Structure 1
Amino acid sequence: MFSDLIRRLTAPEPQTLPDTDARLALGALLVRLARTDGEYATSEIAQIDASLMQRYQLSETEAATLRAECEALETQAPDTVRFTRAIKDAVSYEDRLGVMEALWAVALADGNRDNEEDSMMRMTASLLGVTDQDSHRARLKVSAG
């Protein structure tokens, strides 16, 4: 089901993804972040659904269905670099700031700042081309909200 998307994500010269594939790439990145610490908490799953609902104006059922597809894609995809490259190529810098907010919301959803998640967040921000300062602002915005 995801072989075409994975092929495009792993191509030497990736193409801009259609919206459907960009949604899957973003969702899979959120899932990968949530699984980074070895625990895929209910609070993280709920936050992924909430982020997908907000970002794409989905119902709860639609968001849960999309998340399930993203979970399957995440297990098949080779590495985080390709997710971030696809997202970076598909969305503007301003939208990538929204991606960082969604990622921070998932990272903070279980109430724990985990070393693995912090490391993943630093790497992801860099790969998305988001500055450390903007990533920090996104974290503060999520923490305050």
Structure 2
Amino acid sequence: MLKTLKDLFDNLLPPAPGSDPQATEHALQLATAVMLVEVMRADTSFHAGEREAVLAALRDKFALAADEAQRLAELAETTARQSTDLFSFTSRIDAAFEMPQKLRMIEHMWRVALADGHLSAHERHVLWRVADLLHVPQGAYVHARMRVEQEQQQLAAPGATG
């Protein structure tokens, strides 16, 4: 158990120059997964659609198999429960992702937040805070939300195909 905790904390530290690229990628995947899980955890009720949105986002963002996404999500949930801030995760994401990748991540976070058909004030706050920490301009943040809402309306429309 101590080795697992040490590995977890080592993954949260910034990578040393010249460090293992695979370890750096895993730490970035974990940081991203934690942000998605934070949105899922933000409201008081749990909805299975939120968990599926997290898994779908991880599969899409990192081209993971279903079982890999599941394991990453489980680790992210544990990490999120033990975490005291968002900055240690968002700083890693901010350094690694270009703006289009950040916007794609914000869209995935909106999908998680809207998966249960209800947007809580806490979910909205987590999304706004993450976008701010990632230096996503307000207009781009709003447009990401609008794109996801439009996408969900089209999927919910009668006769929609998917």
What CA deviation, in whole Å up to 9, does each residue of 1:79-106 have, x standing for no partner? Answer: 1122211211121111101111111111
Per the TM alignment, residue 134 of structure 1 is displaced from its structure 2 partner at its CA by: 0.5
What CA deviation, in whole Å up to 9, does each residue of 1:11-31 have, x standing for no partner? Answer: xxxx99811110000001110
Residue in structure 2 matched with residue 143 of structure 1 by the alignment: 149
Between the aligned partners of 2:11 and 2:82, the Cα distance in structure 1 is 11
Between the aligned partners of 1:88 and 1:23, the Cα distance in structure 2 is 13
1:35-114 map, 5 Å: 35-114=41-120
Per the TM alignment, residue 55 of structure 1 is displaced from its structure 2 partner at its CA by: 1.0
- Which runs of 4 or more aligned residues in structure 1 lie more than 6 Å from their structure 2 counterparts after TM superposition? none
> Partner letter of residue 145 of structure 2?
R
Alignment size in residue pairs: 140
Per the TM alignment, residue 47 of structure 1 is displaced from its structure 2 partner at its CA by: 0.3
Report the RMSD for the aligned CA atoms in angstroms. 2.0
Between the aligned partners of 2:82 and 2:96, the Cα distance in structure 1 is 21
Q: State the SS of the aligned residue for 1:39.
A: coil
Between the aligned partners of 2:37 and 2:46, the Cα distance in structure 1 is 8
Between the aligned partners of 2:46 and 2:88, the Cα distance in structure 1 is 22
Residue in structure 1 matched with residue 31 of structure 2 by the alignment: 25
CA contact (8 A) 2:12 2:89 kept: no
- Compute the TM-score of the two structures, normalised by the length of structure 1: 0.88
Higher Rg of the two aligned structures: 2
CA contact (8 A) 1:6 1:77 kept: no
CA contact (8 A) 2:12 2:27 kept: no
Residue in structure 2 matched with residue 130 of structure 1 by the alignment: 136
Between the aligned partners of 2:44 and 2:35, the Cα distance in structure 1 is 15
- Compute the TM-score of the two structures, normalised by the length of structure 2: 0.79
> Partner letter of residue 117 of structure 1?
E
